[in-house]
Amino acid sequence: MPNCSAPAGFDDPLEARRLDALYDYEILDTASDARLDRLAALAAELLDVPIALISLVDEDRQWFKARVGLEDVGLEAGETPRAWAFCDETIRGDAPLVVADATADARFADNPLVTGRPYIRFYAGAPLITPSGERIGALCVIDQKPRQLSAAQRRRLSSLAATVVDLMESHRLARVLERREKRLALAELTQMAQIRYGRAFEASLNEVYLFDADSLRIVAANSGARQNLGYGSDEILRLTPLDLLDGLEPEQLERLLEPLRSGRRRSIRFVRAQRRKDGSRYPAELTLELDRGGERPLFVALVQDVTAKQAQERELGGALALTQSILDACQEAITTFVPVPDARGEVVDFRCLQANAAACRLHVEFFGDLVGVRLLQLWPAWRDSTVFEVLRRVVAQREPATIEHHYADGRADAWYKLSAAPAGEGGLTLVVSDISERKQHERALQRSNEALEQFAAGVAHDLQTPLGQIAGFAALLERHLDAAGGVPAKARETLGCIAQAAENMSHLVSGLLDYARLGTLTVDPEPVDLQEIVDHCLEEFAAELADAEVTVSPLPEVPGNATLLRQVFQNLIGNAVKYRSADPLALSIHAERSGAVLRIAVEDNGIGIEPRHAERIFEVFRRLHGTDSAYPGLGMGLALCKTIVEAHRGRIWLDVDPHAPRAGGGRSGGSRFLLELPLAAPSTPRRSGGGQVLSLHGRGRTGTA
């Protein structure tokens, strides 16, 4: 019996044929079939035994398609090794095999199914013989006690076995028919696809293949696809995309196709290695669409060989890596964004395309991976702030902008300088630097300037009072002396000197205060009519200029602070008047545009300045004359002019060119001051100088001369 006969393998042609016939039924390991179960139950009942099985004898196991009563005897196995199978003995002949008492049968006495569960004593099995004569298994009945089987019962068992085979056969035929139908349908489909996609399909330079949405079988492939893949027209029709796409599991393919099937997407695109018939692979970009237009839905796969494209991308990747390393070396956070429009096309956010290391450090909460993150996720507080408006403007007007901005939300509280520039199609590059420290210093500086200003004002006030008293006491003393009988001439002169010295000191103190204030003021540029300013100054000096030859060319408007610019001209005109020579005064104020700046020349024919003093005269308290000279002054006028002009982003200097024209037509003598002022307002206000009226008397009208 079974344990004494080793199973025959595929090397045995008879056994191979038998196994082929068995496999043809595609029955092994399938779910139970109610009709076959009923047949097994009928066998058990007819022959009055507790156990009936439909056993199929596989290469090295017997597998039960139907089992009745096995569980009741404590055996739940759906199969046993072939070596234990009584049925393996049964399939050696056409007639039923009957074993009345297995313990008394040398073939089975030590069979584990006899010595152990289900403790078989009685066995009767009729082979399942296919129409082609192959014995693929047995219908068998089993009892735990010995018994006999009558000839009639044997016949019944055989005819039930034949019925089992009939049922299996009818299943098999149904399947064959179904497949044939499908094959026919597929052939039709292929024909239909060719008609439907016509010549364009065949002539396309790309690879195109169509596959059935149900079976996934390729139903048509154009010559591009066939050539690149190396398959013949018929060969390729036996394949599915799973045969072509490298390492793609059926579930993965289904997941890919799902959005098309459900209608969520019109097309999908992915890159995957495609395998040629010869086993070689190439990177392919597949665009898939589902065509529901025909009788049966078809997937259309457009395939592009992207070998060259990927090589290019690798090259580009090298260049990008270089750019990235440069960006990473920068301390500022640099991020490039693309716009995110809403349904109406309005930019409602930006999405990060590239970020340098500093940006990643700034936004550690995104684990350093900023690509794809939206701007308002990075900076939520900008949602309704002017910053977002500025960024939108940068993109819309394609003009860069720089702003300083105090950012505060739950995670950050800092001052940032933002420089935004348009990048690519509607994109934006944003450079963010933390300027909190600078702002802190500025605030500290502002506080200390304010304290200094207060201190200077206090000192000035404290000094002015005794100075006024000195002058007052000197005048009082003069009156007392007059009353006491007259003041000697020398004493009167000395008293006059005391009063004058006190007044000089008083002017010096006010000048100092003004100069100190200049350092803390800001120029908020407004259009300033220079003509009006100069006219006004000339009027102020009308008396001194009564006999002078004054020429002024038309002067334009410049952006600036009128009060401060007036001081510049007051000082320059005042100096021309003060440092006049014995000749009648000639003063010329002439302006010309030079690019983006206005150059103004203020010339006189006075005593002139030696070129070696050209720099020094702009230093504060620097004078070329002693206090007792004929030219009194504090030495602050030109220093103030320089500070004011520079606060307007301009410059002022003494022209030392000996050939430069001089006022009055002469070629020597006199002074020529040049100043340049920008014609357009600067984008950000500049510190220094201010909209405050300064009470500087730099013209030094304090002298006795």
Nearer to ligand ADP, 569 or 579 (CB): 579
Residue closest to ligand ADP when measured from CB atoms: 633
118 preceded by a cis bond (ω within 30 of 0): yes
Question: CA-CA distance, 654 to 677, in Å (whole number)?
Answer: 15
Burial of 375 (0-12, 13-18, 19+ CB in 10 A): buried
Total number of residues that touch ligand ADP (CB under 6 A) = 23
Would you say 192 or 636 has its CB closer to ligand ADP? Answer: 636
Q: How far apart are CA 427 and CA 422, in angstroms?
A: 6
How far apart are CB 514 and ligand ADP at their closest, in Å? Answer: 13
User: Closest distance between ligand ADP and the C-beta of residue 557, in Å?
Assistant: 26
Q: Which is nearer to ligand ADP, 212 or 604 (CB)?
A: 604
Q: How many Å apart are CA 485 and CA 479, to the nearest integer?
A: 10
Q: Distance between CA 82 and CA 86 in Å, rounded? A: 9
Residue 287 or 627: the one with the smaller Cβ distance to ligand ADP is 627
User: What does the alpha-carbon distance between residue 594 and residue 105 come to, in Å, rounded to a whole number?
Assistant: 126
Contact between 634 and ligand ADP per CB under 6 A: yes
Q: What are the residues facing 126 on neighbouring strands?
A: 139
Residue pair 606/671 in contact by the 8 Å Cβ criterion: yes
Exactly one of 268, 463, 607, 656 binds ligand ADP (CB under 6 A); that residue is 607
Give the residue with the Cβ less far from ligand ADP, 510 or 671. 671
User: Distance between terminal CA atoms of the chain?
Assistant: 148
- Cβ-based nearer residue to ligand ADP, 597 or 617: 617
The CA distance from 682 to 523, in Å, is 10
One residue of 7, 125, 339, 635 binding ligand ADP per CB under 6 A = 635
**CA 511, CA 518: separation in Å to the nearest integer?**
11
Candidate ranges 164-172, 281-289, 519-527, 602-610; the one touching ligand ADP (CB under 6 A): 602-610
Other Cβ atoms less than 10 A from the Cβ of 175: the count is 13
Nearer to ligand ADP, 477 or 607 (CB): 607
* SS3 assignment, position 75: coil
Q: Measured from the CB atom, is 355 or 639 closer to ligand ADP?
A: 639
633 binds ligand ADP (CB under 6 A): yes
Angle at which helices 637-647 and 489-518 cross, to 10°: 10
Q: Give the helix ranges, DSSP H, for 265-399.
A: 307-329, 357-362, 375-378, 386-397
Burial of residue 646 (number of CB atoms within 10 Å: 0-12, 13-18, 19+)? middle
Give the span between the Cα atoms of 146 and 2, in whole angstroms. Answer: 19
The answer to whether residue 579 forms part of the interface with ligand ADP (CB under 6 A) is: yes
Q: Figure out which of the listed residues 575, 588, 605, 643 binds ligand ADP, where binding follows CB under 6 A.
A: 575
Nearest distance, CB of residue 608 and ligand ADP, angstroms: 6
Nearer to ligand ADP, 101 or 655 (CB): 655
Of 93-101, 265-273, 294-302, 603-611, the segment contacting ligand ADP by CB under 6 A is 603-611
- Candidate segments 277-285, 487-495, 548-556, 571-579, binder of ligand ADP by CB under 6 A: 571-579
Binding pattern to ligand ADP, positions 286-325, x when CB under 6 A?
A: ----------------------------------------
Q: Which one of 339, 559, 637, 690 is in contact with ligand ADP (CB under 6 A)?
A: 637
Complex with ligand ADP: residue 36 or 576, whichever CB lies closer:
576
Candidates 27-35, 53-61, 543-551, 622-630; binding stretch for ligand ADP (CB under 6 A): 622-630
Q: Give 508's contacts (C-beta < 8 A, 6+ positions apart).
A: 634
Task: Let me know: does 332 contact 433? Beta carbons within 8 Å.
Answer: yes
We find the least distance from the C-beta atom of residue 581 to ligand ADP, in angstroms, to be 9
Which of 445, 669, 671, 683 has the alpha carbon at shortest distance from 559? 683
What angle is formed at CA 201 by the lines to CA 197 and CA 206, rounded to 5 degrees? 150
Q: Does 571 bind ligand ADP (CB under 6 A)?
A: yes
Q: Which two tokens stand for residue 473?
A: 């006491």
Instruction: Give the span between the Cα atoms of 170 and 130, in whole angstroms.
Output: 11
Cα atoms in the Cβ-side hemisphere of radius 13 Å centred on 192: 18
What residues numbered 669-688 form the site for ligand ADP, per CB under 6 A?
A: 671
Pair 695, 514: CB distance under 8 Å? yes
Nearer to ligand ADP, 179 or 613 (CB): 613
Stretch that binds ligand ADP, among 296-304, 347-355, 357-365, 633-641 (CB under 6 A): 633-641
Contact flag: residue 623 with ligand ADP (CB under 6 A): yes
Contact flag: residue 698 with ligand ADP (CB under 6 A) = yes
Residue 190 or 510: the one with the smaller Cβ distance to ligand ADP is 510
Q: Pick the binder of ligand ADP from 66, 218, 229, 609 (CB under 6 A).
A: 609
548 binds ligand ADP (CB under 6 A): no
Nearest-angstrom CA–CA distance, 331 and 334 = 9
User: For ligand ADP, which stretch binds (CB under 6 A), given 155-163, 184-192, 636-644, 656-664?
Assistant: 636-644
Which one among 374, 439, 625, 687 touches ligand ADP, defined by CB under 6 A?
625
Q: Which is nearer to ligand ADP, 528 or 636 (CB)?
A: 636
CA gap 122, 383 in Å, rounded: 87
- Smallest gap, in angstroms, from Cβ of residue 550 to ligand ADP? 14
Return the half-sphere exposure (C-beta side, CA atoms, 13 A cut-off) of residue 474: 19
Q: Which is nearer to ligand ADP, 480 or 667 (CB)?
A: 667
**Least distance CB 632 / ligand ADP (angstroms):** 8
Instruction: Give the separation between CA 461 and CA 471, rounded to whole angstroms.
Output: 16
CB of 658 to ligand ADP, least distance (A): 16
Residues in the chain, overall count: 705
For residue 695, the minimal CB distance to ligand ADP (Å) is 15
Binding piece for ligand ADP, criterion CB under 6 A, among 37-45, 212-220, 374-382, 568-576: 568-576
Q: What is the DSSP letter of 584?
A: P
Q: Choose the binding region for ligand ADP from 260-268, 332-340, 373-381, 575-583 (rule: CB under 6 A).
A: 575-583
Determine which residue in the list 606, 650, 689, 690 makes contact with ligand ADP, applying CB under 6 A: 606
Q: Which helix (H) or strand (E) holds 66?
A: strand 61-68
604: left (phi over 0), alpha (psi -120 to 50) or beta: beta
Distance separating alpha carbons of residues 314 and 320, to the nearest angstrom: 10
Q: Give the CB-side neighbour count of residue 670, counting CA atoms within 13 A.
A: 28
What is the footprint of ligand ADP within residues 643-672 (CB under 6 A)?
671
Is residue 117 a contact point for ligand ADP (CB under 6 A)?
A: no
Choose the stretch contacting ligand ADP; rule: CB under 6 A; options: 57-65, 249-257, 305-313, 637-645: 637-645
DSSP notation for 452-471? HHHHHHHHHHHHHHHHHHHH
Strand order in the sheet with 586-594: 549-552, 586-594, 597-604, 672-678, 651-654
**By CB under 6 A, is residue 601 in contact with ligand ADP?**
no
Residues of this chain that bind ligand ADP (CB under 6 A): 571, 575-576, 579, 604, 606-609, 617, 623-625, 633-639, 671, 698, 700
